[in-house]
Amino acid sequence: MKALEVQDLNTTFRTDDGLVKAVSGVSFSLEQGATLGVVGESGSGKSVTFLTVMGLVDPRHAQVSGSVLLNGEEMLGASQHHLRQIRGATIGMIFQDPMTSLNPVKTIGWQLEEAVLIHQDVTRKEARKRAIEILKEVEIPRADQRVDDYPHQFSGGMRQRVMIAMALINNPEIVIADEPTTALDVTTQAQILRLMKRLQAEYRMAIVMITHDLGVVAELSDDVIVMYGGKVVEQSRVNDLFARPEMPYTWGLLGSLPRLNAEGSRLEQIPGQPPSLLNPPPGCLFHPRCEFVMDVCRTKLPELAPSEHGEDHRFRCHLDSETRTRIWGVKKAALVTEDAAA
Amino acid sequence: MTQFLIRRLFWAIFLFFVATIITYLIFWVIPADPARLAAGKAASPTDIARVRHFLHLDQPIWKQYFYFVKNLVVNRSLGMSFVNRQSVDSIIGKDAPVTASLVFGGAVFWLTLSIPVGILSALRPRSILDRISMTFVLIGISAHPVWIGLILSFVVGYKLHLTPIAGYCNFFPGAPGAQCEGPVQWAYHMILPWITFMILFAALYVRLVRANVMETMSEDYVRTARAKGASQSRVMVQHVLRNSMLPVVTILGMDLGLALGGAIFTETIFNLPGLGREVVAAYNADDLPVITGVVVFSTLCVIVFNLIVDVLYGFLDPRIRPS
C-alpha cells in the first residue's frame, strides 16, 4: 500500500517581482516502509515540494494545487487543525542545519517532550521517560543526563541525532529528511546515514531523503526522483538510474560525483546556473545548459515519458533512444576508463 | 560568578574615572567663572577672589579633581554646590525620585504599548494595523518631546482641563511645604510627562519588537516547532517570544540607565524638579560639583542597569549562562 501519493503538485509563490513556480506538475508515490531519494541542485524545488506536502508553506504567499494523498486521505485543503495532528505524528521531519533547527533557550529534553505532549495524552513525566528512551535509541551517550542539556552543549552530529529523535518520537509512518547530512562532516554523515538505516528497519517507516548527494541516494534509496527547475526530470528505481540514466542532466549529476580513485583529473561540472523560476526559459528548462541541445528543446517542454529500459522509469528528453544509448555509452566508458586509469 | 562581579567592579571604577575626568576637562576648557556667579552681583573683586580661593577655583584643574576624588573617598560626599552650598548628595537624593518616577512610569507605558503592537505588526506585516503602527512610529521618532509636551500641556491641560499643566507631587506624603502629595496626585501630575517622555521610546520599541519577532519567526527552530505540529499560539509563546525579547532586554537596560541621568526636555517642559532640570540649572550657573554629581549618578545607573541586564540575560539565555 502507498503511504504517500502526490499527483500533479504545483506550488507558486507570489513575490514582488512576479509569480515563482517553485514546484510544477510533480507526481510520485512512496510505498510503506520504502525510501524515496529526491535529488536536485539548490533551488530545484525539492524542499518546497515537501514543505507543501506538510502544509508548511504560508498560504498568504503561496498558491498550491494538485493532490497529496496520505494513506489515501487528501491533505491539500485539509484544515490547519487536522494538518497539525499529522505533522510530527504521522509525518516526522528532519531539517538540514542541526545548528539552527533547535530552540537555543530550551533544553533538549523540553523540546522532545513538547513533541510528545502535542500529540499524546500523557504526563510530562511520561514524556520525559520517552525522551530519554529515544535519545538512547539514537545513540546519545548518558542520555538520562544529557536530556537536561541545551542545544549549544551538543556537537553538530549530536544535534542531528536529536533532530532524528524528535522526528521519530511519535512513531511516524513517514520521515521526511531534508538534506540531513549536508551540514555535517563526512564521518558524521556516514554515522547518521547508518543510524537512519537501522532506525528505518526498527520503526518500519518510509523515508523521503531529500539531497543533492547521489552517494546518499545510492546508499539508502529504493526509488529516486531527479528534480530540475521545480519539475521531475527523471524518476526510476535507484538501480536503474545508476545503471542507465536517460537524460543529460542526470548524466551531468553522475559525472560530477567525486571519485576517490580518479586522482588528478578535474571534477566534471554542469556548466551554467539553475534556471530562474521567475522567468523560466521556454521549452526544456535544462536546454541552456545542455550539451546536446536541439532546436525542439528551445520551444517544447519534453513530456515525462516512460523509458524502454526499465519499468517505472520515466524521464524528460527530446533525444531519441538511439542517440541516448550512444551518448550514455560514451559517457559510461569515460567514467569507467577514468576509474580504471587510477 | 565572583570573578564576573570583580571584573564588573573594576570596569565600574574605570568608567567612573573616565566620566568624571571628562566632565572636569570640559569644565576647564569652557570659559567659565563660577566664583563671580557664586559671589553675587554686588561682590567686589576682593570678594570674588576670596570666594575663588574658598572654592579651590584658584587651584589647577588636576588639583580640583584630586579634591573631588579625595572628598568622595574620605567623606563619601560629592561635595557642595558652588551656588547655594547645599550638599550635592542631598540635591541628587531629592531629584532622583522625580526622574525615576518619570523614567520607570514611562517605561511601563512604553512597554505595555510597544510589545503587543510590535508583535501584532510582526504577525501581520503590511496589514492595516501594521501600517497604522508604522505611521505612529514615524511620527513618534520625528516629533520632538518639547513640541509634544507643549502641545499636550496646552490642549489636554490648558484647554480641556483634564490634567495639570505642569508641576510635581510627591508620591509619599509628609514632605514639608508640599502643595499636593500622595500616589493619586502624583500619578495625576505625571500623566502628561509620562506620555511625552514615552512616545519616542514607544515608537523605537515598536519597531524593535516588530523586527525581532519577524526575525525570530523565520528561524529554523520555529519551522521545527511547526513541523512538530505545534499550534500558532504555542509557537509564539514557547518559541518566538523569549528569543525575540533577548535584544529588547539589552536595549531596555541601556535606555533606562541613560534616561535616569535626566530626561532634560520633559522635566523642563513640565517643571519637574528632577535631575535633568537640575543639571540644566547647574550648567547655567557653572556649578561644577552638581554637574559632576549628576554625571556620577547617571554613570552609576548605567553600570547598575547593565549589570542587571547581564544577570537577567543569564537567566533568559542558557548560551551565556556562566556554568
**Residues of chain B numbered 225-264 and touching chain A (CB < 8 Å):** 225-231, 234, 238-239, 242-243
> Are B38 and B176 found together in one domain?
no
Our CA-based measurement puts residue A47 at a distance from the nearest CA of chain B, in whole angstroms, of 13
Query: Residue B13 falls within a domain, yes or no?
Result: no
pLDDT digits (tens, 9 = 90+) for B294-312: 988 888 888 888 888 888 8
A218 with A242: CB under 8 angstroms? yes
Our CA-based measurement puts residue A54 at a distance from the nearest CA of chain B, in whole angstroms, of 8
Query: Residue A332 falls within a domain, yes or no?
Result: yes
> Are B115 and B24 found together in one domain?
no
Q: Tell me which chain B residues have a C-beta less than 8 angstroms from the C-beta of A106.
A: 238-239
pLDDT of amino acid A339? 66
Q: Which three cell numbers stand for residue A275?
A: 534556471
Q: Is B224–A163 a contact, with Cβ atoms under 8 angstroms apart?
A: yes
pLDDT digits (tens, 9 = 90+) for B9-60: 888 888 888 988 888 888 777 777 777 777 777 778 888 888 888 888 788 8
Q: Tell me which chain A residues have a C-beta less than 8 angstroms from the C-beta of B234.
A: 118
B177 with B293: CB under 8 angstroms? no
pLDDT of amino acid B319? 84
Distance separating alpha carbons of residues B108 and B102, to the nearest angstrom: 10
CATH code for the domain in which residue B96 is found: 1.10.3720.10
- A150 in contact with B, Cβ within 8 Å: yes
- A105 in contact with B, Cβ within 8 Å: yes
Query: Residue B14 falls within a domain, yes or no?
Result: no
Query: Residue B6 falls within a domain, yes or no?
Result: no
Q: Is B318–A118 a contact, with Cβ atoms under 8 angstroms apart?
A: no
Query: Residue A38 falls within a domain, yes or no?
Result: no
> Are B129 and B61 found together in one domain?
no
- A102 in contact with B, Cβ within 8 Å: yes
Our CA-based measurement puts residue B283 at a distance from the nearest CA of chain A, in whole angstroms, of 47
pLDDT of amino acid A165? 94
Q: Tell me which chain B residues have a C-beta less than 8 angstroms from the C-beta of A70.
A: none
Query: Residue A298 falls within a domain, yes or no?
Result: yes
Distance separating alpha carbons of residues B126 and B109, to the nearest angstrom: 25
Ranges of H-type helices in chain B: 2-29, 34-39, 45-54, 61-75, 88-123, 128-142, 145-152, 183-217, 220-227, 232-234, 242-259, 264-269, 275-284, 288-316
Distance separating alpha carbons of residues B135 and A81, to the nearest angstrom: 35
* Chain pair A-B, CB pairs under 8 angstroms: 73
Phi/psi for A8 (5° steps) reads 50, 50
Query: Residue B11 falls within a domain, yes or no?
Result: no
Query: Residue B249 falls within a domain, yes or no?
Result: yes
Instruction: Find the closest chain B residue to A112 by CA distance.
Output: B228
Residue B225's contacts (CB-CB under 8 Å, 6 or more residues apart) are A103, A114, B234, B235, B238, B239
Q: Is A114–B220 a contact, with Cβ atoms under 8 angstroms apart?
A: no
Instruction: Find the closest chain A residue to B244 by CA distance.
Output: A105
Instruction: Find the closest chain A residue to B314 by CA distance.
Output: A105
User: What SS3 state is found at B276?
Assistant: helix
pLDDT digits (tens, 9 = 90+) for A85-115: 999 999 999 998 888 999 999 999 999 999 9
Our CA-based measurement puts residue B227 at a distance from the nearest CA of chain A, in whole angstroms, of 5
Query: Residue B7 falls within a domain, yes or no?
Result: no
Query: Residue A272 falls within a domain, yes or no?
Result: yes
The answer on pLDDT for B178 being more than 90 is: no
Domain boundary among A170, A198, A224: A170
> Are B54 and B173 found together in one domain?
no
Query: Residue A39 falls within a domain, yes or no?
Result: no
Distance separating alpha carbons of residues A263 and B304, to the nearest angstrom: 63
Tell me how far apart the 2 most distant CA atoms of chain A are, in Å: 67
pLDDT of amino acid B303? 85
> Are B120 and B254 found together in one domain?
yes
Strand partners, A68: A6
State the total domains in chain A. 2
Instruction: Find the closest chain B residue to A111 by CA distance.
Output: B225
Q: Is B317–A105 a contact, with Cβ atoms under 8 angstroms apart?
A: yes
> Are B139 and B266 found together in one domain?
yes
- Label residue B183 by pLDDT band (50, 70, 90): confident
Residue among A93, A104, A118 minimizing CB distance to B319: A104
Distance separating alpha carbons of residues B9 and A292, to the nearest angstrom: 73
Q: Model ipTM?
A: 0.86
Domain boundary among B9, B44, B75: B75
Residue among B224, B228, B316 minimizing CB distance to A118: B228
pLDDT of amino acid B166? 79
> Are B25 and B166 found together in one domain?
no
pLDDT of amino acid A42? 84
State the total domains in chain B. 2
> Are B237 and B113 found together in one domain?
yes
> Are B97 and B66 found together in one domain?
no
What sign does the CA torsion over A22, A40, A286, A233 have?
negative
Q: Tell me which chain B residues have a C-beta less than 8 angstroms from the C-beta of A150.
A: 318-319
Distance separating alpha carbons of residues A52 and A30, to the nearest angstrom: 16
- B41 in contact with A, Cβ within 8 Å: no
A263 sits in the region (left: phi over 0; alpha: psi -120 to 50; else beta) called beta
> Are B25 and B132 found together in one domain?
no
Query: Residue A297 falls within a domain, yes or no?
Result: yes
Please compute the mean of the pLDDT values over residues B193-205 and round it to a whole number. Answer: 91
- B86 in contact with A, Cβ within 8 Å: no
Q: Is B220–A150 a contact, with Cβ atoms under 8 angstroms apart?
A: no
> Are B204 and B283 found together in one domain?
yes
Instruction: Count Cβ atoms within 10 A of the Cβ of residue A25 and give its class: 0-12 exposed, 13-18 middle, 19 or more buried.
Output: middle
Please compute the mean of the pLDDT values over residues B104-112 and round it to a whole number. Answer: 93
Domain boundary among A111, A146, A170: A170
pLDDT of amino acid A263? 59
Q: Is B243–A100 a contact, with Cβ atoms under 8 angstroms apart?
A: no
**What is the pTM assigned to this prediction?**
0.82
Q: Tell me which chain A residues have a C-beta less than 8 angstroms from the C-beta of B220.
A: 95, 97, 100-101
Least confident of A60-74, B41-55, B65-79, B195-209: B41-55
pLDDT digits (tens, 9 = 90+) for B230-287: 999 999 999 999 899 988 988 998 888 888 877 888 888 888 889 999 999 888 888 8
A245 sits in the region (left: phi over 0; alpha: psi -120 to 50; else beta) called beta
pLDDT of amino acid A261? 63
Query: Residue A59 falls within a domain, yes or no?
Result: no
DSSP B158: I
Count of H-run helices and E-run strands, chain A:
11, 12
Our CA-based measurement puts residue A106 at a distance from the nearest CA of chain B, in whole angstroms, of 8
Q: Is B225–A150 a contact, with Cβ atoms under 8 angstroms apart?
A: no
Query: Residue B115 falls within a domain, yes or no?
Result: yes
Q: Which amino acid is at A31?
A: E
Domain boundary among A170, A199, A225: A170
Q: Tell me which chain B residues have a C-beta less than 8 angstroms from the C-beta of A163.
A: 224
Q: Is B229–A106 a contact, with Cβ atoms under 8 angstroms apart?
A: no
Question: From first to last of its 342 residues, what are the pLDDT tens digits of chain A?
Answer: 789 999 999 999 998 888 999 999 999 999 999 999 999 888 899 999 999 999 888 888 899 999 999 998 999 988 999 999 999 999 999 998 888 999 999 999 999 999 999 999 999 999 999 999 999 999 999 999 999 999 999 998 899 999 999 999 999 999 999 999 888 888 888 888 999 999 999 989 999 999 988 888 988 899 999 999 999 999 999 999 998 999 999 998 888 777 666 556 677 788 888 888 888 889 999 999 998 999 999 999 999 999 887 778 999 999 998 899 898 888 888 777 766 665
Q: Tell me which chain B residues have a C-beta less than 8 angstroms from the C-beta of A85.
A: 229
Q: Is A103–B224 a contact, with Cβ atoms under 8 angstroms apart?
A: yes
Query: Residue B300 falls within a domain, yes or no?
Result: yes
Query: Residue A319 falls within a domain, yes or no?
Result: yes
Our CA-based measurement puts residue B319 at a distance from the nearest CA of chain A, in whole angstroms, of 7
> Are B250 and B273 found together in one domain?
yes
Which residue range is the domain that position B35 belongs to? 19-75
Which residue range is the domain that position A289 belongs to? 243-341
Our CA-based measurement puts residue A313 at a distance from the nearest CA of chain B, in whole angstroms, of 32
Q: Is B227–A95 a contact, with Cβ atoms under 8 angstroms apart?
A: yes
Among A83, A94, A114, A124, the residue to mutate for chain B (most B Cβ within 10 A): A114
Our CA-based measurement puts residue A176 at a distance from the nearest CA of chain B, in whole angstroms, of 10
pLDDT of amino acid A264? 60
The H or E element that residue A66 is part of is strand A62-70
